[in-house]
Structure 1
Amino acid sequence: MATPLLALDSVTKEFGSIRAVDEVTLDIPESEVTAVIGPNGAGKTTLFNLITGRYELTDGQIELRGERIDQLEPQDIVQQGLARSFQITNFFPDLTALENVRLAAQAQRTGLTPGALLQHYDDQSETREAARDVLKRLDLLDIAEEQAGSLAHGQQRHLEIGIALACDPDLLVMDEPTAGMSPDETVETRELVEDLAEDITIVIIEHDMDVVMRVADRLAVIENGSLLTVGPPSVVREDERVQQAYLGGETA
């Protein structure tokens, strides 16, 4: 069996007496979309924070391409090819859309050191071109010179995805990309995820079950910090435990 792109082995996180993530073992295959679903408070975002290095593990380990990453800083994990888009927008609102993406591309290539940030404009042509390519892929090129804080909500969420894409990831971790979107914006974002999945492995937390069922190759269901089951959507949705824990009730 092929080595998974990302492998979680008995991943555990405790906050005092609370075990938010409880011995989760999960393989993420390359070139697939894996959706992590579960009720509010199930531990999904905490799991993402462990994968991306924002939290330290209490126990277990995480490997990317067979190499441990759970002891690395978040910026070093990005350098290894794992990028994340957040549940809330995460950009510089006073900078243009293009500059936000360019800074991410620059950080991936040189690191955001003071010297790198003070490069002469002409020396930034490569990263500016890379940023424009990202915006073009996201259909945001027409707002490249607009301040990020002035964009519509859906555009801001797509820009945030663009910032992650500028890091040239092999694995993109997406935390509720359709949160707060209108129905039309949700459809656009679903189509964007489907497009990105053609050449990037994706792990996604998403509450909109219509989006999940359309984009995911596999579902991983989390309940009370533990992995309840994992499998194709058609199989998981018929699991009685899943219906009781999640699908049969209010989506959250």
Structure 2
Amino acid sequence: MTILSLHGVTKKFGGLTAVNDVTFSVERGSIHGLIGPNGAGKTTLFSLITGFYRPTAGRVELDGKDVTSLSTSLRARNGLVRTFQGTVLFPEQTVEQNIGNGLLAKASSSWVDWIVESNAYAKSRRDEVERLLVFSRLTDLKHSAARDLSHGQQRVLGIAIALAARPRVLLLDEPFTGMTASEKDRLVEMLREIRKSGTTVVLVEHDMRTVMRLCDVITVLNFGRVLTEGTPEHVRRHPEVMSAYLGTTA
């Protein structure tokens, strides 16, 4: 069953067409890859999906509902959450505090709770932060300032913050960039657990080895258009993909 779909999505910046008539769907409970050469329009497309940009034409649907006109914050409250190429953290705050900040995106409590922070409400927040610390294997670092984490740990923290919003669809922009091989293996395991918990994952990534072993379906963009889509094996063998992006030995 489809949870996210794009229909003829186009984005023009003056005379430049960055995204051109893009149509594809993401199945609920899948890990869906979005790949393509630099400048193919991948990050722009993420910004269109999550409301940072409004499309020149076309529409975005979440679980069958047209969200094209919704703000970024309303899309997040509806379960559409993203991370960025550059990890967005509060560097002076602790890991624990950063994850707590992520809870604001899904806040459903009343303004009274936020002002007086009742004991029950405060405990539920602490429990959720603790759950995410354990899940992301950051418990031992919870009192460390975000700036003191390694690059790979900061990337994981960014994902934990996004998970605090309890997304239905989590969009990750190059999550494996700069990670060591062991960090990549741990993140692959983490993303599979996220999918298993019921969250659909869509990721932009340049690490083809990781994309091919992780994704169920891959959509390939080139010059702002969909070049092809299918299983990793289909994409690997597609002649235009091999020449435009992967190379004949990929």
TM-score range, shorter chain: over 0.9
**Runs of 4+ off more than 3 Å:** 110-113, 115-123
Does the CA-based 8 Å contact 1:220-1:231 persist in structure 2?
A: yes
Return 5+ residue gaps in structure 2 as ranges.
Answer: none
User: Distance between the aligned counterparts of 1:14 and 1:55, measured in 2?
Assistant: 10
Paired-residue identity, %: 38
User: Distance between the aligned counterparts of 1:112 and 1:50, measured in 2?
Assistant: 30
User: Distance between the aligned counterparts of 1:19 and 1:189, measured in 2?
Assistant: 34
User: Distance between the aligned counterparts of 1:248 and 1:118, measured in 2?
Assistant: 57
Give 1:185 deviation, angstroms: 1.6
Instruction: Tell me whether 1:238 sits opposite 2:243 in the alignment.
Output: no
User: Distance between the aligned counterparts of 2:30 and 2:80, measured in 1?
Assistant: 15
Alpha carbons of 1:149 and 1:160: their partners in 2 closer, same or farther (altered >3 Å)? same
TM-score by length of 2: 0.93
Q: How many residues align?
A: 248
Q: How does 1:85-234 map to 2 (within 5 A)?
A: 85-110=83-108, 118-120=115-117, 122=119, 123-199=121-197, 200-234=199-233
User: Distance between the aligned counterparts of 1:141 and 1:222, measured in 2?
Assistant: 38
- The alignment's C-alpha RMSD in Å is 2.0
1:96-131 superposed Cα distances (whole Å, 9 cap, x missing partner): 111111121133114898x77654484422112111
- Higher alpha-carbon deviation: 31-40 or 97-106: 97-106
Per the alignment, residue 31 of structure 1 pairs with 29
Return 5+ residue gaps in structure 1 as ranges.
Answer: none
Does the CA-based 8 Å contact 1:98-1:128 persist in structure 2?
A: no
Amino acid at match of 1:164: A
Give 1:190 deviation, angstroms: 1.9
User: Distance between the aligned counterparts of 2:210 and 2:16, measured in 1?
Assistant: 31
